[in-house]
Amino acid sequence: MLKTIDPLLNGALLGHLADMGHGDVLAIVDRNFPAASTARRLVTLSGVDVTTAARAILTVFPVDTFVEPALLRMGPVGDEGTVLEVHADLQAAVDEAEGRAVASAPLERFEFYRRAAGAYLVVATTEARPYGCFLLVKGVV
């Protein structure tokens, strides 16, 4: 146990987050995402939705201020511009953690898969809401 560190942040996750550099990409994905076959590095957080996982991660993870958008979301197939509840919840968590409005944008499903395959780390959650998949660009401290 570590003082003031969210208990969701296990040793493997903290190590990967610490190893990431400015501009590296973090994917936080739902239970339907093919994380095991896509990820270069994978950490699984069972029993956790994407918003809860992001809130914990964002206590130690700075979001980039040089790249816009620094937050990307998987959009619904054929209607990528629609902002779903899961998207709004994650956006609110990121904005709150950063103390600013963080620019975000949708990605088409297969473009999201392509970019997630290049992410430094994939954090798989058990988020049940569809299209609960996000990419965050790491900033500087």
Respond yes or no: is residue 16 known to be catalytic. Answer: no
What's the pLDDT band for 105 if we cut at 50, 70, 90? Answer: very high
Is residue 120 a part of any domain in this protein?
yes
- pTM value is 0.96
Report the DSSP pairing between strands 25-29 and 121-124.
parallel
Q: How many CB atoms lie within 10 A of CB 62?
A: 16
The tokens for 97 are 């953690």
Is residue 4 a part of any domain in this protein?
no
Residue 3 has pLDDT above 90, yes or no: no
Number of helices (H) and strands (E), helices first, in the chain?
5, 6
Is residue 6 a part of any domain in this protein?
no
The tokens for 22 are 């400015």
pLDDT at 2: 79
Three-class secondary structure of residue 2 per DSSP? coil
Q: What average pLDDT does the segment 100-107 reach?
A: 98
Is residue 1 a part of any domain in this protein?
no
Residues spanned by the domain of 123: 11-137
Is residue 83 a part of any domain in this protein?
yes
Is residue 2 a part of any domain in this protein?
no
Respond yes or no: is residue 64 known to be catalytic. Answer: yes
pLDDT at 114: 97
User: Which helix (DSSP H) or strand (DSSP E) does residue 66 occupy?
Assistant: none
Which one from 30, 64, 87, 89 is the annotated catalytic residue?
64
124 Cβ contact list (under 8 Å, min separation 6) = 29, 31, 33, 35, 36, 39, 42, 43, 44, 45
- Give percent above pLDDT 70 in the chain: 99
Residue 96 maps to which CATH number? Answer: 3.40.1650.10
Closest to 80 in 3D by CA, of 103, 106, 113: 106
Is residue 3 a part of any domain in this protein?
no
Is residue 5 a part of any domain in this protein?
no
Q: What average pLDDT does the segment 126-130 reach?
A: 98
How many structural domains are present in the chain?
1
Q: What are the tens digits of pLDDT across the range 42-89?
A: 999 999 999 999 999 999 999 999 999 999 999 999 999 999 999 999
